[in-house]
Amino acid sequence: MHNTRYAPSGMVCSVDHLASAAGLAMLERGGSAADAAIAANAVLAVVAPHMCGLGGDLFALVHDGATVTALNASGRAGSGADPARLRAEGHTRMPHLHDIRSVTVPGCVDGWASLHGRHGRLPMAELLAPAIRLASAGFPASPLMVAGAANAARRPGGGDFASVRAAGDRVTRPGVARALQALAGHGRNGFYLGEFGQGLVEAGAGEYVEADLAAPGADWVEPLRTRAHGHDVWSMPPNSQGYLLLMSLAIAEGLDLPASPSHPVWAHLLAESARIAGHDRLDVLHEDTKDLLDPAEITRRRSRIDSRSRLRLGGPGQDGDTTYLCVIDGDGMGVSLIQSNASGFGSMVFEPRTGINLHNRGIGFSLKPGHPAEYGPGRRPPHTLTPALITRPDGSLRSVVGTMGGDAQPQVLLQVITRLLRHGEEPGRAIAAPRWRLGTGGTGFDTWDAPDDAVLDLEEGGGWSDGLAALGHRVAALPYGSSFGHAHLIDVRPDGMLAGAADPRSLVGAAIGR
């Protein structure tokens, strides 16, 4: 199944048809791509709490018709963040679940406010209205929500999910509706200093103070880019791992890739590009990292790859859920937006007043004393979130693309973008094609703990298994499905027609246009 949708003057692509419809409604009312992205993300914050939400973080790339800008709305640790206390309790890494210390101040709402302030046309209240209606009146549980709803319902504050038994069951989220109404009526302070913020401070028991929430937490930053396949590919700078996508693309472009993606050597060379790019990520990625795309270093890493065998990296270097959406409007503005809880419902800690589930992005911090990414007050953790945007040599917008998938996000995008740009595949085929990923069988955020031990997980239908095993890879066959990400893509054809695809792995995703 590889359906590409076409539209002449605007398109929204997301993991849920309700969100895509809300975004399209804003385009039809004269809203910008930024307006549509906010409306779609707000609906996802209601209907897809197993992937994203008001308690999560956000990154976005925007092409305004002339330039590319990047928005970092990832939260910072609270003033009470104390790595010595965690170490004294016996922790060697940040707690993965059930611990509010892995919850940085959620950046999602500050991201919406900044995106709207620079690029919005419609009132924020209008953008949030579809999400408020769904949270108040109810929405159908998606098939992917059902799997985690029972565990969420057992946690304090998770009562919104107590009645979810099957896809289509009605879910209401009155606390989320109140939080959205506070944002619509009183701006970002209505959220961060209102009911949600007060509950977060109380739940943190010293982890946060009101000043942590009072300070706006989103920044416009300079995006990273690399040239690949005759285009410029853009992503986020650190603290995002976006550099891994760009480095992998730059390394792979200098290799002799087979003409067909079905050839095992195609998967081998791309996987080796991803491995050599990322094996030292835990040592080098932090919010102040610089110069990760040095051409000499890219050449050096590429020179270690052998088309005939798997590379031994030489020892260790130092299931996540997210949602990605993209929009292009009739004026040519494109938004590539990714928003996340990290692991499924996040930390499985719920803000007690509104029932908003809180992310666990703090798992990206290190607990090694003196590490540049060490957990501490006011710091941003390394992030897996990797939105992408592609421009033509003349600077015009070619594509907006991204995926969920924890550590595997750059690996999935490496495959999708290579299929699109090098092999000329239509978006639907590039998105639906079987994928590989570097797997550990762990959390989805531990790929680089021991990169030489990573198994190459292969999605059924790829046909690479025997060839990759002969090249020295340990391979594991897995079913086609959401564990390989939900990628979405909108491509601008040379005649201006939009061609888009939502990932069929999401089951209820939609690319819709006007």
Catalytic residue annotation: 322
Say how far apart CA 355 and CA 42 lie, in whole Å: 16
Cβ-based neighbour number of residue 238 at 10 Å = 22
Bridge partners (DSSP) of residue 224 are 235
How far is CA 368 from its chain centroid? 26
In the sheet that 498-502 helps form, which strands lie side by side, from edge to edge? 5-7, 498-502, 487-492, 397-403, 388-391, 231-235, 224-228
The alpha-helical segments, DSSP class H, found in 262-350 are 264-278, 281-284, 295-303
CA distance 505 to 487: 9
**Strand pairing partners for 11?**
328, 513
Q: Return the structure tokens found at 330.
A: 């009739």
CA-based nearest residue to 94, from 382, 483, 350, 320:
382
Give CA separation, 382 vs 5, 194, 311, 442, in Å.
35, 28, 26, 18
Pairing state between β 219-221 and 357-358: unpaired
Task: Write down the H helix ranges in 193-263.
Answer: 195-204, 210-214, 242-253
In the chain, the amino acid numbered 71 is L
Residues of the chain by 3-state class (helix, strand, coil), percent to 5: 40, 20, 40
Q: Which residue from 189, 504, 223 is spatially nearest to 389, judged by alpha carbons?
A: 223
Q: Residue 155: exposed, middle, or buried by beta-carbon count in 10 A (0-12, 13-18, 19+)?
A: middle
| 228 in Cβ contact with 253 (< 8 Å) | yes
- The answer to whether the bond into 41 is cis (omega within 30° of 0) is no
- Token code pair at residue 225: 């880019």
Pairing outcome for strands 436-439 and 455-459: antiparallel
User: 296: Cβ–Cβ under 8 A, 6 or more apart, which residues?
Assistant: none
Cβ-contact 420, 398 below 8 angstroms: no
CA distance 57 to 124: 19
Give the distance from CA 356 to its chain's centroid.
19
